Amino acid sequence: MIIVTGAAGFIGSGLISRLNQDGFKNIIAVDDFSKIEKAENLEGKIIKEKVERNALFEWLDANNRDVEFIFHIGARTDTTEFDKEIFDELNVNYSKGIWEKCVAYQIPLVYASSAATYGLGEHGYDDNESTIGQLKPLNPYGDSKNEFDKWALAQEKKPFFWAGLKFFNVYGPNEYHKGRMASVIFHAYNQINATEKMKLFRSHNPDFKDGEQMRDFIYVKDLIDVCIFFMHHRKNSGIYNLGSGKARTFKDLVTNTFLAMGKTPDISFIDTPADIRDKYQYFTQANMSKLRSVGYTRPFSSLEDGIDDYVKNYLSSKTYL
């Protein structure tokens, strides 16, 4: 059996789809299943059992001998939430509980960290474990992910294999429920559909022109490929970046969304909201050499190819992965 936490969410549900395609049917889906807006993400997926998030540890005590692998993808990911207690409970303490069960029962683990741990990028975007203690995330979400990374590295007892993956800006199918926290591509598609135009945040940094703020955007299918790689690889434990390795501008992103929709680009700019302006990242780019060094060879989708697939095969028909 393979456990996927955050199973009804954006990345977790896509991972289950891929596991099903690869012949894995004994999936234990873990989530807060009371949130009905995510239910469609699991329609048609082959799942052995649904386990409520709060019941997982008790379930593991009873069923650990049958568990082959855990993907801990579930987390509170709202970067606009500032209640630290929520993140302590759901992102830090819950993750510690999963880690400790993996140690006790010798279950290999892949968990989701985040590029939000890098803050403004003062120390670069290298997944060097010796510098993790120096990182300064910009919000409680990033703090919670960094706190767990630091805790994991400090543990004397570790699962026999574990990997923490720092997800950069992920986009792709199954994010329909995410609202404000969905990718810019998702919002661009909807805004262009409604108005034939797209508004982007103006730059308030003299080093960047309007629309030329840069992010490392990674297509969710590529991210899932890396998760599957580690499930089979099971060596070289540690913390890894997971982006495309190539920063692209928001202007590139929106222009390609227009083109995938068969429309002429029409982009204008609005001020970045004052409450997030001083914490706005102007550049992120994952150094992907560490992942490559342990044998991952698949190329990552270009922004053009990823957006084209997402728009034409998913967004235009609200299809799920």
Binding residues for substrate: 169, 180, 187, 201-204, 215, 280
What size, in residues, is the chain? 321
Q: Give the residue from 130, 113, 136 showing the smallest Cα distance to 241.
A: 113
Determine the Cα–Cα distance for residues 50 and 166; give it in Å rounded to an integer: 26
Q: Which residues are annotated as a binding site for NADP(+)?
A: 10-11, 31-32, 38, 53, 73-77, 145, 170, 178
Exposed e or buried b for every residue in 54-66, given b needs 16+ CB within 10 A?
eebeebbeeeeee
Whether the Cβ atoms of residue 4 and residue 71 lie closer than 8 Å to each other? yes
141 is annotated as an active-site residue: yes
Q: Which of 178, 199, 246, 263 is catalytic?
A: 178
Q: How many CB atoms lie within 10 A of CB 152?
A: 23
Determine the Cα–Cα distance for residues 71 and 73; give it in Å rounded to an integer: 6
Place of tokens 């985040």: 114
Determine the Cα–Cα distance for residues 70 and 62; give it in Å rounded to an integer: 15
Among the residues of the chain, which ranges form H helices?
10-21, 56-63, 84-87, 94-105, 140-154, 184-195, 220-233, 250-260, 274-277, 289-293, 303-313
Whether the Cβ atoms of residue 43 and residue 55 lie closer than 8 Å to each other? no
Q: Please give the C-alpha separations between residue 293 and each of 109, 167, 239, 278, 289, in angstroms, as whole numbers.
A: 20, 18, 13, 36, 6
Q: Which of 111, 118, 125, 141 is catalytic?
A: 141
Q: Which residues are annotated as a binding site?
A: 10-11, 31-32, 38, 53, 73-77, 145, 169-170, 178, 180, 187, 201-204, 215, 280
Q: Phi, psi (5° rounding) for residue 251?
A: -65, -45
Place of tokens 């992102």: 91
Active site residues: 141, 178
